[in-house]
Amino acid sequence: MESILLSALVFSPLVGILVLAFMPNTEERLLKTVGLLATLLPLAFAIITYVGFTPGNVNIQFVEQYRWIDFQIKGLPNGGDFTINYDLGVNGLTVVLLLLTAIVSTLAAAASVWIKEHWKGYFMLFLLLEIGMLGVFASQNLLLFFIFFEITLIPTFFLIGKWGYIDKEKAAYSFLVYNGLGSAILLIVFIILYMKTGTMNYTGLSSFLHQPPEVLEQMYIGDEFRFGLLIALLVALGVKLPIVPLHTWMLKVHVQAPPSIVMIHSGILLKIGAYGVYQFGIGFFPEEFRQIAFWIALLGVINLLYGAFIAFVQVDFKRVLAYSSVSHMGIVLIGLASLNGAGMQGAMFQVVSHGLISALLFFLVGLIYERTGTSLITHLGGMAKVMPITAGFLLVGGLASLGLPGMSGFVSEFMAFLGLFKEMPVLAAVGTLGIILTAVYILRAVLGMTFGETKESLLQLKEPRFVEWLPALILTALIVLIGVYPAVLSDILQLTINAMMAGKGAVV
Amino acid sequence: MNPLIWIIPVLPLLSFVLLLLFGRRLKEASAHVGALLTLGSLVLSIVVLLNQWGGEPVKETLSWLTFGETTLSAGYLVNPLNALMLVIVSLVSFLVQVYSGGYMHDDDRFPIFFAYLGLFTFAMLGLVLSPNLLQLYVFWELVGVGSFLLIGYYFYKREARSAAKKAFIMTRIGDVGLFIGMILLFWQVGSFEFDEIFAAVEAGEISEGWITLTAILIFVGAIGKSGQFPLHTWLPDAMEGPTPVSALIHAATMVAAGVYLVAAMFPLFQASEAALTTVAVVGGFTAIFAATIGLAQADIKRVLAYSTVSQLGYMMLALGSSGYVAGVFHLTTHAFFKALLFLAAGSVIHAVHTQNIHEMGGLWKKMKWTAPLFLIGAMAISGVPGLSGFFSKDEILAATYADGRFGLFWIAVIAAFLTAFYMFRLFFLVFTGESRGIQEKVKESPVSMTFPMIVLGILALIGGLINTPFATYLSDFLAQNEALEIHHHETRWWIPVVATGVSLLGILMAWLVYVKKKVTRFSESAPDLHYILLNKYFIDETYDYSFVKGTRALSYFWYYIDRFVVEGLVGLVTGIVGWFSKIGSRFQNGQVQLYSSVAFAGMAILLLVVAWIGGYLT
Amino acid sequence: MSSVPLSVYLVLALILFCIGLFGALTKRNAVIVLISIELMLNAVNINLVAFAKYGINPGITGQIFSLFTITVAAAEAAVGLAILIALYRNRKTVNVDEMDIMKH
Amino acid sequence: MNGELIVFFILALVAIGSGILMLNLTKVVHMVIALVFTFLSIAGLYVMLSAEFLAFVQILIYSGAITIIMLFGIMLTRHSDRTESKIGVPRTVLVLGGIVAFFLVMFFQINDLSFGEQATVLHVDNTEKIGVELYSKFVIPFELTSVLLLVALVGAIVLAKRDDEEEAKDNE
């Protein structure tokens, strides 16, 4: 039963780090090639995991469990014996997220060709970041989650602060301070949970916390206490997600970080917040979550509209995308808050879909920035004439982002709203305004860049070569695949979500 | 029955993919690829239609998406209405592709154009074949994208860009209505499938209020797509696209999708009187409203565009008056004659390189094919007896009258008069009299362009015969659908007479004003009114100042909130922390005395606290 | 039997200690600071001697302890003054608030 | 009210009064002189507490040696003999507040502290007792103290001695 597949997956980027460590710092091409190849290893493992995953089985699969830390505190009511295991495993949701992580990482590594200096350090940090992301999704206990979560923070900080644009240091600090505070709260919650329950394992915690309130009351876990924990969790993860008004750091990161890192950041790192809300918020405190679901949905709608409105007046395409991320994360919240099969699945689809779409869009931003040195919409009019393929991909990305049917964005948006309309129709109707606004700001930005008269400064541009837009093609293919035949995802997600909902006795 | 039905939409999709991938190499041949594949669809569609004649509806689905206990499916459904629409769509699409082969000949992005046409045709056929609302919505949006891409085909033109954007956003506003309506209906019925929805409606499982609400929301989608008031403004602007596109999308097929949607959901609408009234009133109002604007426009395509809006209003009016057959019938005939008119207009534009009718004139002799065909189209739309438009319009008037909405009936009659007037204004200004513009040698268009026009001309001539008061083929055919209750209303002899009278009167008026010049033009007799009409009742401006500027203002408001309030709060927090650090660092001045003072004060406080808590201070 | 109670000595020592502390913390002249510290030590000595007489275990030990204290205080005064002089030679000041080079 | 108490109050008054005088005088020399009175009255208190030897030591070392050292220190370093107290009001308040708090807390604890019994024979052969104890029971601390003094001596000399280069510079 014990397989080391997940450990191999999570730590496989280490191979690349070790190889890079013994390479000279000056060989640009070689370093980039090795960096890219190193991401293929986790990709291969992720695919093996995905293929080997049995969708019909609700249990957590590929479990690895070893005793890790033992200690004793005398005089506690529950005996005071504590054990923390090294605990890895995947369910239907995380196996998808692992694959997404591996794919986006590989493509982001491909997008790293635009990195101009210190390639060795860049790729080592990059691979370290990948370990963190894979670990976050593969871990089955809070301590491991937290450790991997922190592993994602530090490399990201350096990657932004060293390889970003003009205001990179400020963005990096902003990132670190916000996320550091978030993870501090997270750690406090985790420790409290651990001290109260004596376990860090997700399943163990869920079953412990799903006991009747009277039983929990006797263990000094009263109603207010649980609400407090849940709200603390939401704040901590809300920074990551981000929930308005905790979003300002993300704008700076999206504008200042190098495109490859933003691909990762927007594609995967933000999703940790969504995953956390799902896994911890709903998983541990289903009843409490249900009681505050309206407020979460309200926050989701605010996110959706707020981001959309502001994106409408941005002049920098990167900022448009940053606010659009805020807006799209609102859909995740909406879906989660609806707490029914459709909504939850919509939220999870949105996690995957937005990961792919924003990766695509930021890849294109990188591609364009590399050629033109700008991402200001007003400086980029009429790009379709000189770079029709790039412009075409941009249009595809934009259409996907505004939820065009046939692409993944639609499925998630549709299901999230389908879920919300069942629970809170009025709020949902207000939220649909976001669908219109999304179309408005996306078209304004994308058409502003591609259509219209071609700016003179762009006239001598050349269309990128095939290998350069290959990542965009792959992402587009995935987006369309999910959009046309969502069952590829839903089949694997569904049982996990159903199990989650059954665990809390919700109406499916 | 026919396992190859799904091939019908796939062929144009294939054309899209092929042309997108290999278009650069195919160059000229791409027109042939596109047209041939569409011809395949057309042939298959005709086979399907013939099979439907007396046959049973066909429906096949497979699971598309599962959540919770619910499974959503995708598939295809063929019933009489769908089969008819299939033929109309693939026919017009085929003809337009043939026509475009000539019209777009000099364009260097030729293959892309045909790729887009393929995408659009695929989406439109998919829409028509949808067995459920969700799939319909999916293709509904894809159709919108096809339209958007084709309107913005001349991407380097600023107007094309804004027109494309406007078309997408305006229709999306309507789509959201459909979206909400669809979801609400789903939670009432538990399914998106048409047949299950109708079964639920019939069984009375849904309350009256819900039916009305969802039906009106779905109708909002139709308003957006079919350019009904108040979401009509995008359609005239969409004329920035190439003319064949206007013929295909903005006359014959896509804009008719709204009508099709109402027709396809007709049992739902029938269950609610309020919804039907809404449809009828919106349709009737749009019919006369757009017709009046059409009176004053100078751009040949815009006149046709407003005429399209007006005719679509007619169809809505028919459906709203329970005239299911009338609406579908007019949809069919309109597809023929309006496509014909657009193609003819395109032919004219192709020849004279202007769209302003005041710069044309005297083309009758120079364009031997185009001019008579345009005349046929104009007569058909005006309702000259014997032509297709006459029968369908007559049917609509009869349906409206039979439904007892006399106000709307007279509005429709006036609209018919206005239609005849502005169509012949157009005809006389373009084809008769003396040439007014600077026109070099005007040549008749090549065969690839005239051939489709001839086909459409024949259909416009005889298309009406499928449903005359004497031979009701169409209504019998449509009546095969059991979910529908089709009203047969007795024909009143005076309605055709009135209809003929007003249309002839309109033609006569136009002749008097523009040929004989006996009557002063109303731009001179009523300049204020003309000004208002020329500016389309200032609706664009109103929207611009209310919604567009409002959204922008709101956006800036939120943006500044974000910039100053949210970031200000963040700044405040960091500022406070920074302030504390500054104060703290002031204590780190290197003087031992200060350090010890602070340490001692701290110790004293601790001591006080401990003593206080320990109760030693009594 | 002595008629002066223990607490009076202790209060006196406390007052002297406070005076010394105040001087040590607020005076700028390093010499005065040193002297104030001596005063504080003296206050402590009073306590020790008082406890030697009135404490729980009265005995000679308290006095011996204060002897040590006095010795240490003397040593401290000597070293402190030496530091002061060295400092003065280098910086030409005996003001405590100018002695902050360790901050950097 | 007996004689002993009167003596105590006189001595305490002198000690506290000189202490406060020390705080308020402006000339450094005057301050040191004021403190001499405090030291002397503390010596008197020692006598009252049956610690005659300690009283002498107090007078010798504090009133004598340390005061002299301090005066030397003042003389060697004088550039202005006034200490202009420029300490800011907030800090004075801070220190004063801390001291008052400290005083109050302590005062309430020791105000009526009494252990009842007292040593009666402490004044008999006081010096001898100290000597015996010091050389028997406390011999190791005593030796350590001598080392400490030696270190202090050496340290003071090294610190106060001029650097060689400095000397060389001055001699030029």
Chains B and C touch (3+ CB pairs under 8 A): yes
- How far is A131 from B397, CA to CA, in rounded Å? 72
How is residue D112 annotated by DSSP?
Answer: T
Query: Which residues of A are less than 8 Å from B183 in CB distance?
Result: 417-418, 421, 428
CA distance A53 to A58: 11
Which pLDDT score is estimated for B2?
56
pLDDT on residue A357: 92
Separation of CA B224 from chain center: 6
Contact C53 D76 (CB under 8 A): no
Q: pLDDT value at position D44?
A: 92
Average pLDDT over residues B266-287: 87
Any chain D CB within 8 A of the CB of C69? no
Highest averaged pLDDT of the listed ranges B355-359, C99-103, D10-14, D114-118: D10-14
Distance CA B175, CA B143 (A): 12
Answer whether C97 sits within 8 Å of B593, measured CB to CB. Answer: yes
- Tell me the nearest-neighbour CA distance from D154 into chain B, angstroms: 25
The mean-pLDDT minimum among A72-81, B86-95, C29-38, D40-49 falls in A72-81
d(CA D77, CA D60): 24
- Nearest by CB to residue C96, choosing from B588, B592, B600, is B592
Burial of A373 from C-beta contacts in 10 A (0-12 / 13-18 / 19+): exposed
The whole-angstrom separation of Cα D5 and Cα C99 is: 45
- The tokens of A406 are what? 């046939």
**Confidence at residue B349, expressed as pLDDT on a 0 to 100 scale:** 83
Instruction: Please give the average per-residue pLDDT across B321-350, as a whole number.
Output: 85
Contact list in D for residue C73 (CB cut-off 8 A) is 61, 66
Question: Taking Cα atoms as reference points, which of B277, B242, B275, B299 lies closest to residue B99?
Answer: B242
For B39, phi then psi, to 5°, come to: -60, -40
Two structure tokens written together for B447? 């065969």
List CB contacts (< 8 A) between D35 and chain C: 35, 38-39
- Residue A190 to residue A185: CA distance in whole angstroms: 9
Specify the 3-state DSSP secondary structure of D51: coil
For residue D40, pLDDT beyond 90: yes
A314, A481 Cβ separation under 8 angstroms:
no
| A–D contact: 3+ Cβ pairs < 8 A | no
Q: What is the pLDDT of residue D11?
A: 92
Among the listed residues A280, A281, A314, A284, the one whose alpha carbon sits nearest the alpha carbon of residue A299:
A281
Q: What would the mean pLDDT of B273-282 be, rounded to a whole number?
A: 88
Report the candidate in C50, D53, D133 with the shortest Cα–Cα distance to residue C42: C50
| Among the partner residues B588, B589, B600, nearest to C25 by beta-carbon distance | B600
Q: Which residue of B has its CA nearest to C97?
A: B591
C94 in contact with chain B, both atoms CB, cutoff 8 A: no
Q: What is the pLDDT of residues A288-328, one digit of tens each?
A: 888 888 999 999 999 999 999 988 888 888 889 999 999 99
Mean pLDDT over all residues of chain B? 83
Query: Within 13 A of B6's CA, how many CA atoms are on the CB side?
Result: 9
pLDDT at A2: 60
- Model pLDDT, residue A505: 40
Counting CB pairs under 8 A, whether chains A and C reach 3 or more, is: no
pLDDT digits (tens, 9 = 90+) for B296-316: 888 888 888 888 888 888 888
Structural domain boundaries in chain D: 1-84
pLDDT at D85 over 60: no
Looking at every residue in chain A, the average pLDDT score rounds to 86
Considering only CA atoms, which of B316, B341, B342 is closest in space to residue B331? B316
Residue A101 is predicted with a pLDDT of 92
Tens of pLDDT, residue by residue over B419-454, are 888 888 888 888 877 777 656 667 777 777 888 888
**For testing contact with chain D, the best of B594, B596, B618 (most D CBs within 10 A):** B594
Q: What is the mean pLDDT of residues A468-483?
A: 89
Token pair for A151: 């592993």
The nearest CA of chain C is from the CA of B616 a distance in Å of 17
**The 3-state secondary structure of A336-370, one letter per residue:** HHHCCHHHHHHHHHHHHHHHHHHHHHHHHHHHHHH
Band (A1; pLDDT cuts 50, 70, 90):
very low
Q: Tens of pLDDT along A30-68?
A: 888 888 999 999 999 999 998 888 877 777 888 888 888
Buried b (16+ CB within 10 A) or exposed e, B86-124: bbbbbbbbbbbbbbbbbbbeeeebbbbbbbbbbbbbbbb
C25 close contact with B: CB closer than 8 A: yes
D82 has pLDDT over 60: no
A131: pLDDT strictly greater than 90: yes
pLDDT tier at A507, thresholds 50, 70, 90: very low
**In the structure, what pLDDT confidence band is assigned to residue B585 with cuts at 50, 70 and 90?**
confident
- Partners of A425 on chain B (C-beta within 8 Å) are 184
Q: Which CATH number is D1-84 given?
A: 1.20.120.1200
pLDDT digit string (tens) for B117-155? Answer: 888 889 888 888 888 888 889 898 888 888 888 888 888
> In angstroms, rounded to a whole number, what is the distance separating the alpha carbons of residues B592 and B598?
10
Res C14 pLDDT > 90:
yes
**Could you tell me the domains of chain C?**
6-93 (1.10.287.3510)
Whether residues B165 and A443 touch (CB distance < 8 A) is answered with yes
- Chain D neighbours (≥3 Cβ pairs under 8 A) are B, C
Rounded to an integer, what distance in angstroms lies between the CA atom of residue A391 and that of residue A397? 10
> Which of C29, C55, C66 lies closest to D83 in CB terms?
C29
User: Rounded CA gap, A496 and B151, in Å?
Assistant: 44
Q: How far apart are CA B463 and CA B457, in angstroms?
A: 9
Q: Which residue has the higher pLDDT, A83 or D35?
A: D35
For residue B236, is the peptide bond before it cis, meaning its omega torsion is within 30 degrees of 0? no
Task: For residue range D63-74, list pLDDT tens digits in order.
Answer: 888 888 888 888
**A221 pLDDT higher than 80:** no
Q: Which residue of D has its CA nearest to C58?
A: D119
Contacts of B603 in chain D (CB under 8 A): 98, 102
Partner-chain contact B608 D105, CB within 8 Å: yes
Mean pLDDT, to the nearest integer, of A426-446? 89
Residue B341 has pLDDT above 50, yes or no: yes
Of A336, A345, A418, A466, which to mutate for an interface test with B (greatest number of B Cβ within 10 Å)? A418
Which structure tokens are listed for B313? Answer: 């209003």
| pTM of the full structure | 0.82
